[in-house]
């Protein structure tokens, strides 16, 4: 029995995915391009799995089950294409890759990730997607094919897809939420599930992830989550707890920052109070909901703060509260970053400084400004690293 037409449609899919020309923004950064090319290979292997299925079915004398098999094979191709284009047609500035890459290195995480446009902030891998797809099979699996060989190669070279909610592509204040997904990896790698906490609610990991991300990135992370929930009340999907407890936990963090406010430069004090006001304003709408969860959440921040700072310290990473204390040594201060922003001049500030500074600017943060600033920051880190290397080579002999 021939399933030629199915084979042809799989061929077309392969061509569509294989020939797709990457945008000049992606090609501009070698590391980003390499990643996307790797992922393209995963999707091409995915189609090979389907071709193996088709070949297997062809060898079997299908009669009664032919209809479901045809239906299955034709529908199989639909998702792979969509899933690939989520990666190559993403609309966030490609410079965010550079930022996440830097943080992956600092936290010693696998850098096998790509950004993808989706319906919310979440992540899963390409292998997970194809496994899900194959799980849905109602027809029997054909025997004697090479499908497993291709599947194993996808598993071995797998990439994590970090999704952002498509509507947020042009609102820089939401971008720090990408860190939530990154800190899920920190949570897994550092076995934070072993932290001794007074609550064991199922959604507790989410709150811990938020608090680690905020402690690292600063008050703007809390505002990102608050603003996102303001736009999508009840959002966050099934895996994420109600916004009330999550924002409440972040308010505890911001409350702690408020207490030690005096040790920070004036500009940072303004950032902390603004973040506190915005977050508590949005949280107040939920303050009467899920009171029992709030009780459970209230002590989490004080319980994780020490272990969190210790983890950062062990990796030579400064928490926001440490790095923001004395910003004069950073070259460009918070106050200058804010001033440059209002003048529209891109600045090579540390990204944490940049995003937190956006909170107190008198004008709406423009994506192009943030993108250009990240570019400058990236180039200056490259410059710094190469200068450092040259110095080491010169003086090593």
Q: Which residues bind Zn ion (CB under 5 A)?
A: 206
CB-nearer residue toward Zn ion: 101 or 206: 206
**Least distance from C-beta 390 to Zn ion, angstroms?**
42
**Least distance from C-beta 90 to Zn ion, angstroms?**
20
**Least distance from C-beta 203 to Zn ion, angstroms?**
9
**What is the distance between the alpha carbons of residues 210 and 205, in angstroms, rounded to a whole number?**
9
CB-nearer residue toward Zn ion: 205 or 265: 205
**H helices of the chain, where?**
4-19, 24-28, 30-59, 66-88, 95-106, 126-135, 147-156, 178-189, 204-217, 220-231, 243-259, 266-284, 291-297, 300-314, 320-323, 334-343, 351-358, 367-396
CB-nearer residue toward Zn ion: 121 or 369: 121
Contact 278, 334 (CB under 8 A): no
**What is the distance between the alpha carbons of residues 216 and 323, in angstroms, rounded to a whole number?**
10
What Rg, from alpha-carbon coordinates, does the chain have?
A: 24
* Order of all β-strands in the sheet with 122-125: 113-118, 160-165, 122-125
CB-nearer residue toward Zn ion: 237 or 344: 237
CB-nearer residue toward Zn ion: 206 or 327: 206
**Least distance from C-beta 39 to Zn ion, angstroms?**
22
**Least distance from C-beta 202 to Zn ion, angstroms?**
12
**Least distance from C-beta 394 to Zn ion, angstroms?**
46
CB-nearer residue toward Zn ion: 145 or 243: 243
DSSP conformation letters of 148-191: HHHHHHHHHT--EEEEEEGGGTT-GGGGGGHHHHHHHHHHHHTT
Residue nearest Zn ion, CB atom distance = 206
């Amino acid at each position: 029995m021939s399933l030629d037409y199915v084979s042809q449609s799989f061929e077309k899919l392969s061509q569509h995915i294989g020939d797709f020309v990457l945008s000049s923004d992606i090609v501009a950064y070698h590391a980003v391009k390499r990643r996307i090319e790797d992922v393209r290979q995963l999707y091409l292997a995915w189609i090979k799995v389907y071709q193996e299925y088709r070949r297997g079915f062809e060898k079997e004398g299908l009669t009664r089950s032919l209809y479901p098999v045809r239906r299955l094979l034709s529908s199989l191709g639909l998702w792979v294409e969509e899933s690939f284009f989520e990666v190559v047609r993403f609309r966030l500035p490609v410079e965010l890759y550079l930022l996440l890459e830097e943080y992956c290195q600092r936290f010693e995480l696998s850098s096998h990730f790509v950004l993808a446009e989706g319906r919310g902030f979440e992540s899963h891998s390409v292998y997970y997607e194809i496994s899900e797809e194959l799980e849905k099979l109602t027809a029997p699996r054909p025997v004697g094919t090479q499908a497993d060989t291709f599947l194993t190669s996808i598993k071995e070279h797998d990439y994590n897809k970090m999704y952002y909610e498509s509507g947020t592509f042009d609102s820089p204040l939401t971008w720090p939420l990408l860190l939530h997904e990154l800190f899920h990896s920190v949570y897994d790698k550092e076995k934070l599930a072993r932290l001794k906490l007074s609550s064991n609610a199922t959604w507790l990991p989410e709150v811990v992830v938020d608090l680690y991300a905020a402690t690292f990135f600063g008050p703007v992370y809390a505002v990102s989550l608050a603003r996102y929930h303001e736009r999508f009340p009840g959002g966050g999907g099934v895996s994420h707890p109600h916004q009330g407890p999550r924002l409440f936990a972040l308010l505890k963090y911001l409350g702690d920052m408020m207490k030690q406010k005096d040790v920070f430069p004036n500009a940072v004090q303004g950032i902390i109070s603004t973040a506190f006001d915005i977050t508590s304003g949005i949280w107040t709408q939920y303050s009467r909901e899920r009171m029992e969860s709030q009780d459970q959440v209230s002590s989490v921040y004080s319980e994780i703060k020490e272990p969190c700072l210790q983890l950062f310290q062990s990796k030579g990473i400064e928490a926001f509260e440490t790095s923001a204390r004395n910003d004069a040594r950073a070259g460009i201060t918070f106050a200058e970053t804010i001033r440059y922003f209002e003048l529209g001049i891109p600045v090579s500030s540390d990204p944490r400084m940049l995003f937190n500074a956006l909170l107190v600017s008198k004008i709406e943060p423009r994506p192009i400004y943030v993108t250009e600033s990240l570019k400058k920051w990236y180039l200056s880190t490259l410059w710094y690293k190469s200068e450092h290397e040259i110095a080491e080579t010169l003086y090593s002999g």
